[in-house]
Chain A
Amino acid sequence: MYTAEFDYKKVSSVADALAALKAHPDAKLLAGGHSLIPTMKLRLASPSALIDVSSIPGLKGIRLEGDVIVIGAMTTHRDIEHSSLLKDKCPILPEQAALIGDPMVRNKGTIGGSLAHADPAADYPASMLALGAKMKIESSSGARVVTADDFFVGMFQTAVAEGEMLTEIHIPANTKSSAYEKFAHPASRYAIVGVAVVKHADGTTRAALTGAGASAVRLPKLEAGSISSLVSAADLLSDNFASAEYRAHLVDVMAKKALARV
């Protein structure tokens, strides 16, 4: 299906993007477009304008600043998958990126777009929580930093408010070992259950779950050393392919697999 009519504006700075957002309150930011455009084609979304932020200089790239890895929001899944910096300091992200969609999606899709979209079955939210990542959110009134724990608010909902834009992801470069185990839907290849476990240099272990519920969550029981009945089926989604009971079981199975690797 064709999208409804919309205006298109390509911007070359964060300031311009934020100004455009102010001018078009009904607009959407366009990054890789691999979630937004299909939604628009199905006419589930009909924004009046798209503000294309994919080419803003400085929003793309991965760099080390002291003991923090900074990932620009417009960094593609492919760049994450192949980053030697990440493979060395934060291997869970390249591991996850390789599991996202197909090459076309990975070439176009961006980490910022994915995180801001907050699909409950996306992969990155689990690692963001397990890594203790922070999100830099900018607006015309300045920048603020939100922890991953506060970022994922609900299904397709994040801490990014109207008029704001996610610009960077900050990750402590303190991974000792990590693993991501994904049970993918055979059709969409999105996570039915994805469990990320990260052991940090300070000796703590953080674990998180994506796919099974309305949004990604930490797995406190696993972090406390338990390996069974990690989540309650009552808190999980249920659909034609996987019931809540099955998802709850898969969380235990995937967690066990991930733990065996860290």
Chain B
Amino acid sequence: MAEKMFGKALKRVEDPRFITGTGNYTDDIAVHGMVHAAMVRSPYPHAKIKSIDSSAALALPGVIAILTGKDLVGAGINPIPTGWLLPDLKISAHHAIQPEEVNHVGDIVAAIIAETRAIAEDAVALVDVDYDVLESVSLGSTALAAGAVQVHPEAPGNLAFDWTIGDAAATDAEFAKADKIVKLELRNHRLVPNAIEPRASLAEYKRAGDEYTLHTTSQNPHIHRVMIGAFVMGIPEHKLRIVSPDVGGGFGSKIFQYPEEVIVLFAAKKVNRPVKWTARRSESFVSDAHGRDHETVAEAAVMNDGTLLALRVNTIANLGAYLTTFAPAVPTYLYGTLLNGTYKWKAIHAHVRGVYTNTVGVDAYRGAGRPEATYVVERIVSTVARELGMDPVDIRRKNFIQPSEFPYQTPVALQYDSGNYEPAMDMALEKLGYKALRAKQAEMRKQGKYIGIGVCTYLEACGLAPSALVGSLGAQAGQWESALVRVAATGVVEVLTGSHSHGQGHETAFAQVVADELQVPVEHVVLVHGDTARLPHGWGSYGSRSAPVGLSAITMACRKITDKAKKIAAHLLEASVEDMEHVDGKYQVKGVPERSKSFFEVALMAHLAHNYPADLEPGLEATHFYDPKNFVYPFGTHLAVVEVDADTGRTKLIRYVCVDDCGPIVNPLIVEGQVHGGVAQGMGQALLENTVYDASGQLVSGSYLEYTMPRADDMVQLEIGHTVTPSPHNPLGLKGIGEAGTIASTAAVANAVIDALEPFGVRHMDMPFTSEKVWQVIHASQLAQAADD
């Protein structure tokens, strides 16, 4: 019997090329005659463009062309659309190059095309843009206030949408019955995604055939093709090839269709040369879609025994200056629907207002809406526990949905398919030694040392998504996934997937599943992704969908291959198909190993078709389009322990336990890697990362001197565990793990910090818990204490 690959901790086959610098990223690609683009970006958050004088820049030797917004509009280039429409959504045109008005620092006003990148960057400084600077607004609640600066005329009061979910009357009724109402005001601050590979695009145009090829840093090249081809530039799909080769991290920020992609495509035709643009890191800060940025008031209605009755949530979601590809969906359907968490709330009502501001657009960032929801739910549940004098573990245990209650219909639209929350929590508590640590915490406080323990029992909905469902909610895309499994005459298996790997390790994990399904050596399986010219249409990778959706499509396609291979083998063995079995990598007559055909023999005959069933097509390939029946619902318990230095306020993570249930695990190394990265990102938000716009609308945290990315020494060795509750509705029972770490860890770490600060009377404070903020509350408490004494 061939060794089962599912569940094996295989080292990633892609890593040698990434680690040794032999990957093939967009910026690594150079083509004959290539020229370079550099962007002239607005230094102002809000301004009218009065005039642009490019004469000095054009006079610089090596400058080929300078494009402005008027050039693009004049050539019939349309604005970049949003991909998710809500009722009554107010949309302001997002031009690749703004022709009349800029709306955030970093907005593009002109593009230089030059022989070298250095010349292009020199020319940027020579473009003289005359701006009429306008007042700006960067905070969501300020933008909504009466008399606020108007960002776009299309959205009066800066309101892009006003959205609710849940039963307001039922929620009010529960609040009327409650013993206690606990209210929190929470700010989930803005983050910059910071993929290690900056965005890059290389456009080529062939006059013969009027065809375009765009290499670009995309998590979903087909979405780019649809948006650019059908909406922005009017290029038929068969004349626009999008390739996203190796991509160095996305975290959502590379889902979206960006202005620079349109600019290089337009320029490539105009100057009839291939055009490349690669972002500088400082451009990434002001042009990659940001994440989070919510201001929320949450109220929980509870009984004195800890029973959670109802939750009322009012959120202002800052969307930035333009609606990027998924922007309207993130603070609505990916947020409001997740507010139930793992608990039996009787009613929930959420009201979300999406607001335009003069800041970079906000869209999906690792977790996309779900970390924001989890933060609200898990902070308020821990606050309820504190105010009722309960242990945060006990209140969760009391209110968990029980295993017998699945499928479970929440008050906010989702129907959870499966779950078993207590075993995961118990495993985490056991690993941490929760009770002993609580005792130690009390002891340490007496000695003036402050540690805090944070609990987060999260749930997420991922594996996006049933197409009809998301279509009914406003998605302008399907969310099924495609797979084409093609067996060569030599028996090599080429797997073409619509999923995209930008660090996830699909080449390894997907091959493991295919190796098992087809009973072939794992090294005979080759994954192809990221090229619209080679793949069937697919929807890419985001929302932890690659395993539950992409791999389900591959599995189903493999099963079609096996069915066909059995027919070919039966013919060769002069047996009936019903008598065939697929064991040890062979197709054999049941129980008669000597009457068998190898995978290679079958593959070869499928191609030769010399001795072949009359009613069967030659060839051995199968395509499957898999549309999931539901989301999948990973869950788990994360426990964070932090230490606060009362003298300086410096707050450090000192232990982290996580028990995740992502269903059956294809490759434990990859799953643990996802958890590590996810937890680092969530911890980064809680303790370190901060995106700050100053009063004048400038992004003051726009470099790594200011913006604190988590580093290895900010992390601890994670103590990881798993429980396994398969999804009941996909072929392998898979659930996603790409975002779980981020979804859970922000709330876990925040709860830990607030717990550590309890002796100083801190009930809540907003992230990030940077040292001065923490010291200020400690200091204020100490001053108050001194005044009392």
Contacts and interface: CB of A to CB of B under 8 A. Distances in A.
Given A1-B280, A246-B775, A240 B688 contact: no
A21 to B, nearest CB: 26
Contact of A242 (B117, B692, B772): B772
Interface stretch (B202-210, B327-335, B697-705): B697-705
B155 to A, nearest CB: 30
User: Chain B's interface: helix, strand, loop or mixed, by majority?
Assistant: loop
B121 interface: yes
Given A5-B118, A240-B701, A249-B775, A186 B708 contact: yes
B282 A42 contact: yes
Contacts of A5: 118, 122
A1 B121 contact: yes
Contacts of A45: none
Interface in B107-137: 117-118, 121-122, 125
Given A183-B648, A187-B708, A43 B688 contact: no
Contacts of A250: 648
B723 interface: no
B773 to A, nearest CB: 10
A243 B586 CA distance: 71
B662 interface: no
Given A42-B282, A241-B772, A187 B648 contact: no
Contacts of A4: 122
Nearest to A252: B647
B709 interface: yes
B770 interface: yes
A66 to B, nearest CB: 41
B772 A246 contact: yes
Interface in B39-91: none
Given A241-B772, A250-B648, A187 B117 contact: no
Interface string B756-789: 0000000000000011100110010000000000
Contact of A187 (B122, B280, B706): B706
A197 B121 CA distance: 46
B600 interface: no
A241 B118 contact: no
Contacts of A1: 121, 280, 282
Given A186-B688, A240-B701, A2 B648 contact: no
A98 to B, nearest CB: 13
B754 to A, nearest CB: 20
Chain B interface size, under 10 / 10 to 19 / 20 to 34 / 35 or more: 20 to 34
Interface in A238-262: 240-243, 246, 249-250, 253
A2 B117 CA distance: 8
The residue among A4, A42, A188, A241 with the most chain B CB atoms within 10 A of its own CB is A241
B707 interface: yes
B420 to A, nearest CB: 39
A188 B704 contact: yes
Contact of B706 (A183, A241, A249, A253): A241
Interface centre among A5, A185, A186 (most CB of B within 10 A): A186
B121 A253 contact: no
A101 B771 CA distance: 20
Contacts of A43: 125
Contacts of A241: 706, 770, 772
A246 B692 CA distance: 19
A187 B772 contact: no
Contacts of B709: 187
Contacts of B125: 43
B643 to A, nearest CB: 15
Nearest to B117: A2
A116 to B, nearest CB: 20
Contacts of B776: 246
B770 A187 contact: no
Interface in A202-259: 240-243, 246, 249-250, 253
Nearest to B692: A240
Given A5-B118, A253-B647, A187 B704 contact: yes
Interface string B593-619: 000000000000000000000000000
Contacts of A240: 690, 692, 700-701, 706
A2 B779 CA distance: 45
B712 to A, nearest CB: 11
Interface string A177-199: 00000010111101000000000
Contacts of B775: 246, 249
Of A187, A241, A250, most B-chain CB atoms within 10 Å: A187
Nearest to A121: B705
Contacts of B779: 249
Interface string B670-707: 00000000000000000010101000000011001111
B116 to A, nearest CB: 9
Contacts of B650: 183
Contact of A243 (B688, B701, B704, B772): B772
A20 to B, nearest CB: 24
Nearest to A190: B705
Contact of A253 (B648, B714, B770): B648
Interface string B193-223: 0000000000000000000000000000000
Contacts of B706: 187-188, 240-241
Interface in A13-61: 42-43
Interface string A118-149: 00000000000000000000000000000000
Contacts of B705: 185, 187-188, 190
Interface string B551-586: 000000000000000000000000000000000000
Nearest to A192: B771
Nearest to A193: B648
Interface string B333-370: 00000000000000000000000000000000000000
A1 B742 CA distance: 31
B568 to A, nearest CB: 58
B398 to A, nearest CB: 38
A255 B121 CA distance: 46
Q: Determine which residue in B121, B125, B707, B709 has the highest number of CB atoms from chain A within 10 A of its CB, and name it.
A: B121
A253 B645 CA distance: 11
Contacts of A183: 648, 650, 771
Interface in A96-125: none
Contacts of B690: 240
A2 B283 CA distance: 13
B650 to A, nearest CB: 8
A246 B772 CA distance: 7
Contacts of B770: 186, 241
A188 B704 CA distance: 7
A185 B704 CA distance: 11
Nearest to B694: A240
Contacts of A186: 688, 708, 714, 770-771
Nearest to A41: B280
A214 B779 CA distance: 26
A240 B189 CA distance: 15
A241 B648 CA distance: 13
Nearest to A187: B708
Interface string B645-657: 0011010000000
B426 to A, nearest CB: 35
A204 B772 CA distance: 34
Contacts of A253: 647-648
Contacts of B121: 1-2
A242 B649 CA distance: 11
29 contacts: A1-B280, A1-B282, A4-B122, A5-B118, A5-B122, A42-B282, A43-B125, A183-B648, A183-B650, A183-B771, A185-B705, A186-B708, A186-B714, A186-B770, A186-B771, A187-B704, A187-B706, A187-B707, A187-B708, A187-B709, A188-B704, A240-B706, A241-B706, A241-B770, A242-B772, A243-B772, A249-B779, A253-B647, A253-B648
**Smallest CB-CB A-B distances: 10 pairs:** A187-B708, A188-B705, A246-B772, A186-B708, A2-B118, A253-B647, A1-B280, A2-B121, A242-B772, A240-B692
